Amino acid sequence: MTFYSLRRALALVATSLSVALMLHPVLSTAASTEVPTADLAGLSDPPGLKRYTGSVLIYRDDVAYDEIEFPAGKALRAEGIAIKTSKALSSSGKRALAMYITPAGRSSLEVIRSYQQDLRAEGFEPVFECAGLSCGEGYDAIMPSHGSSFTNFYIGKDFDTKVTHFSPAGCAGGNFITNFRYALLQRPTDKHVVAVTAYNSGAVGIYCKEKDFQARVSMFVVRVQPAAREQNMIAVSAKEMSDAMTTTGRVALYGIFFDTGKADIKPESKAALTEIANLMKSQPQLKLHVVGHTDSQGSIDSNFDLSKRRAFAIKAVLASQYGVAEARTAAHGVAHLAPIASNNDEAGRAKNRRVELVPF
């Protein structure tokens, strides 16, 4: 017996149990969740994303920074019941996820085509599209948390732990879903990625008005806007700087801030500068190369000049405001010749924009 035939057999058993429970005089009231007619309280559309006309928003899950491997090819069986993508489009940045239910009488094809038309008008280009079996393994289930669902790649394996099985979002999922369609698009100018999934829900159990949910198209819209990860770490302490230099010969700092294309140190850099000064006071014999690094935006000559001016600005402020003798620091700029991440996206460029301290 294959995995899918086994899963279908188990679902039939569960369905029979659900029927029995529905006939129970106490539990028969469990099937009470109806298709909502208005957005759930507190929910609103992700800014800049349009919804299909007449649809209702039933779930929203946003994060400030995430990385998603969107399926860009057919899903394949991996090990056991897990699946993997034959090809993926990786995108990191600000992620918005919205789940809707459409009005009655719509098809998943109509919904997908409407989104594709609208997104193409905004400069998005198709990356991958599939329907049902052409999507590969796992296309017929939404709720599994064990990695066997196509949607796990972009709505998360923890979706079924974030929603209750009797919530509208839970009722709009289920196993043995039908009319599954998926479209992935990306805008070349800014690398924004949008994935749209449309389907009719499947077997969801005794808690929902199942046939009513099955008659409506449900959909997920997932967008990732490339953005740098916010620097929320506490400033590296003097001891941590010393330990890093002892272990690796250098320490990279991200707590010294400049405006784009400028070498004026911003006030929020104070914590990092204070720790550098503390390090120099605690080790009177220590001398440091202050090395400026940029991303690859701009010409090599302008980046050499900018990185060097920034390093000299740090050297100057350490001397004028923190009492570090100028002879104890040397300023250098290496432009973008020593990246630690790809310069092809903003997340990587943010890692490359840094200041490093190297003892001499």
* 63-96: burial string, b at 16+ Cβ within 10 Å, e else: eeebebebbbbbbeeeeebebbbeebbebbbbbb
Model pLDDT, residue 234 = 53
Terminal-residue alpha carbon distance, the chain = 68
Model pLDDT, residue 146 = 61
Express the helix, strand and coil content of the chain in percent, nearest 5 each. Answer: 35, 25, 40
**Domains, in order of start, for the chain:** 29-226 (no CATH), 238-359 (3.30.1330.60)
- Structure tokens that stand for 280 in this block: 């120099």
174: nearest Cα among 187, 163, 185, 190: 163
DSSP for 236-283, written as a single string: PPHHHHHHHHHHHS-EEE----B-TT--PBPGGGHHHHHHHHHHHHH-
| pLDDT tens, position by position, 215-235 | 999 999 999 998 765 554 457
Radius of gyration of the chain from its Cα atoms, rounded to whole angstroms: 27
- Structure tokens that stand for 219 in this block: 């959909």
238-248 vs 270-282: helix axis angle to the nearest 10?
70
Residues of the chain with pLDDT under 70: 1-31, 144-147, 228-234
Model pLDDT, residue 55 = 97
Q: Is the pTM of this model over 0.75?
A: no
Beta bridge partners of 198: 181, 219
Model pLDDT, residue 5 = 44
- Structure tokens that stand for 147 in this block: 């990695």
Q: Determine the Cα–Cα distance for residues 95 and 109; give it in Å rounded to an integer.
A: 25
Would you say 109 and 115 are in contact if contact means Cβ atoms under 8 Å apart? Answer: no
